[in-house]
Amino acid sequence: MTRQHAAKRPVTKRGARNTVPQRGARRRVAKPQRAPLRERLAAALPGVLASLVAAVLVAGVIWLPRVLDHYPIRKVGVDGVTDVRRQQQVQTALAALVRDANYFSAPLEDIYQRAASLSWVSDVSVRRQWPDTVKLVITEREPVAVWNDTVLVSRNGEPFKALKQYDLTGLPRLNGPDQRLEAVMGFYHSMSKLLREVGLGIERMEVNARLTARLTLDNQMQVVVDRENYVGKLRRFTRLYRGVLSSDSRGVARVDLRYADGIAVTWRDQKA
């Protein structure tokens, strides 16, 4: 009698899984896990933003010029300028800079430089004023005299060319060596102060190289005074004028103050 041997089965420990795949069984392939939605959105965001920016730029290039055409500069406002001739000069100087400009593109720095370059402008500020104006506030130089019939002199002694932009009525005419402007202006201010004490003003002053001054006063009196102690000599004259000379019926035509202890007087009416 023959023993039949039973087919051997794999022996496994209790609780252990049989790892041998059975015939005909299919192996499952694990699906990759998708990233969380927040991470996917974060990854896509830079691309979306770049696309939006590109779209905005394209739209801006196309539409911005059309929008800006609705805000052209129509007016240049100027404050602080008291004479129509100087107003016109400012408008003419800035016309080319604002002709094709709009409110947003108006070249404020160029406008400032152009206005500041005008000889009679002491200071200037520039700003935009909605919706169609460039506004300037200008501080003018204040002329106190005409120097050598070619330039004006400001209150602080600076010469500037603007004879055609100012009314010269009432401005004294000063003449002298070009390099002695500062000294002549010093004489003028000192002499004017002394003469105003007796109601006299200087219409013209001519100063030579030795700084001898020949004055024509507003009553057409002529005064000659040298620089040697000129303040003391003018004080002597003003005392005499207040006390004697102004009331003399002959009228004073000319006084010469170039004497250490006196003055020489020439009368208008020598027969009186």
pLDDT digits (tens, 9 = 90+) for 37-53: 666 666 766 776 777 77
Record the pTM: 0.72
pLDDT of residue 70: 67
> Can you give the residue ranges of every domain in the chain?
75-140, 143-267
pLDDT digits (tens, 9 = 90+) for 196-236: 999 999 999 999 999 999 999 999 999 999 999 999 999 99
Other beta carbons within 10 angstroms of residue 246's beta carbon come to 14
pLDDT of residue 112: 98
Residue 1's pLDDT band (boundaries 50, 70, 90)?
A: very low
User: Among the CATH numbers 3.40.640.10, 3.40.50.11690, 1.10.645.10, 3.40.50.300, which is that of 143-267?
Assistant: 3.40.50.11690
Give the whole-angstrom CA distance, residue 104 versus residue 128: 9
Top-level CATH class of 75-140? alpha beta
pLDDT digits (tens, 9 = 90+) for 243-267: 999 999 899 999 999 999 899 999 9
Stronger pLDDT, 33 or 243, i.e. the higher one: 243
Question: Does 31 have pLDDT greater than 90?
Answer: no
pLDDT of residue 63: 45
Sheet holding 133-140, edge to edge: 75-79, 133-140, 121-129
Determine the average pLDDT of the residues in 104-114. 95
Mean pLDDT, the chain, whole residue set: 85
For tokens 């016109």, name the residue.
88
Closest CA to 265 of 208, 220, 222, 202: 222
pLDDT of residue 64: 47
Question: Does 79 have pLDDT greater than 70?
Answer: yes
